[in-house]
Structure 1
Amino acid sequence: MGRVVLVTGVSRLVGGMTCRALAADPALDRVIAVDTVPPLHNLGRADFIRADIRNPIMGKILAQEKVDTVLHLGVIMTPKQAGGRTLQKEINVIGTMQLLAACQKADSVQRLVVKSSSSVYGCSPRNPAMFTEDMSARRNPTGGFGRDSVEVETYVRGLARRRPDIDVTLLRMANLVGPGLRTTFSEYFSLPVLPVPLGYDGRFQVLHIDDAVQVLRRTAHADALSGTINIAGDGMLTVRQAARIAGKPVVSVLAQAAPLIQQASGLLGSSGAFDAEQMQFLQFGRGMDTTRMRTLLGFVPEHTTREAFTEVLGAPGRRHVVNPGEARV
């Protein structure tokens, strides 16, 4: 039987780039792209099907097309992308539930890969220096996307218990950065002045979008790979270090003022936007241990955290596209 891969969320940048990379892979017989709206970008030889993962029609698609591998990249990171928080949660949580129900019924499905997020670890002063995949959040995520990610992972693990014959892999990715990719994280660093909580300097990792696509492609091919894997570029930055790289001034603020800052950024109509839910991340940050990424996947990102951040969000005079052969510091 030939290899048939189905990818959700292809109208957005990560899903579209991943779908195109898979479509260029001669080892795959077919790539099926699914989303509620046709993508504006090229998907290569992939076959696009306009469908909503919340609709039971997904079960028919999996069965009729004899799909053996599903890449679920349809989780939406910000309410703005979805058209509001209510719709975001419905797509993320209800959509995932319906897709997993379809996978459970489809005898052809052998592998499921789900793009998750480091946000499941939350942000807390009691966090360890580095989270391994077996650790859980010391304080449950308060942001909408973080809560959605926790729920999504719960349902994915439920499918793994009900269908142990399916190889289920959760990829917990650090904040993604890439040209044209707009997220809460990138919006923050687009502000003319960066509000930083007084007395704090949170640490973080990022993952370049090109590395995200490559790890998704590799996981789609991995044999007998199940479980959760942290994915992030090497090294870490603090918020104030990142501000210097971005060439942005910072202003110290009280953490409790986050809602007021969000209102002010909206009224000013600046190129970026401040989301009050980011404040705990700016205070405490988070770090992930990526040993499993190297040992199980054999994957090493081309970009370190500093390289990826500098290339995408650095001040114009500091941006530098890293060649694969360049040595890392």
Structure 2
Amino acid sequence: MAYPLVRHRRLRNSAALRNLVRETSIEVNDFIAPIFVTEGEGVKDEISSMPGVFHWSLDTLEQELAEIVDLGIQSVLVFGVPNHKDATGTSAYDDNGIVQRAIRKIKAMYPELVVVADTCLCQFTDHGHCGVVHTTECGADIDNDESLVLLTKAAVSQARAGADIIAPSNMMDGFVTAIRQGLDEAGFTNTPIMSYSVKFSSAYYGPFREAAHSSPQFGDRKTYQMDPANAREALREAQTDVEEGADFLMVKPGLAYLDIVRMLRDRYSLPIVIYNVSAEYSMVKAAAQQGWIDEKAIVLETLIGMKRAGADLIITYHAKDAARWLQENR
């Protein structure tokens, strides 16, 4: 039988048919929602560069948590903005620090909510770097090994407060080994590590640094964050974390590094996490406010692209909006 050279596509039932053969899907369970907790009372301050994202004090935090839980989001990533900062970031490993108090409050209100604790020093140091800095005549250097001691103390303190997952974002060499050993010795053998395995020195972090009050006061983080041009180095970093005992592997940022996500997915069976970072969020929000894009369509297409690339979990500031849109689509 001869077929015509031009074939026609029927329009009716197209959505249902597309759904039947869809290869990739996104669910609310895929999302981890970041939250910024700060000192003070009565604080609900919108972050100017991240519309819809707020600083919360402990007494107002329940507003945000109730909405997150009501939308079916099962996990949050906690960032703390302390009042006190010093050279060694002591507030990061203070059992009464802002992150530790926030974790205890979250677990008391919503015990089933999975709390991921960001483990770094940059928000807590007066210089804004992710480790201990020593100044010499030739400049300033990060002391990797001294930093590991303090980062491990922070991780143990966070676990003691009730964190379900420790997420080290500092990029010091050997941080997974150090934190794993510290957690085990403190009795937290079942607390997993979500490693920021592949964290690039990126221009996409700008709005976050406003949100977390974590901009470096001098220099930059290029000596301990990765060159965006390097893919093979990303694989070496991930392999090191696997060997050291990481339980999750993260790629940060997201959009410009989907090829790295796919490389990790093809090589490792561990859960792969992607961080849909602040500037990726802010650019969408800014364009949507101008009426230049369909925000819902852009966000859902971006998130499905991250899942298609191989991510199992997505840390995203769009989490609440995306969860709401997915409910509407049911």
The verdict on a shared fold, with TM-score over 0.5 as the criterion, is: no
Q: TM-score, normalised by structure 1?
A: 0.33
Q: TM-score, normalised by structure 2?
A: 0.33
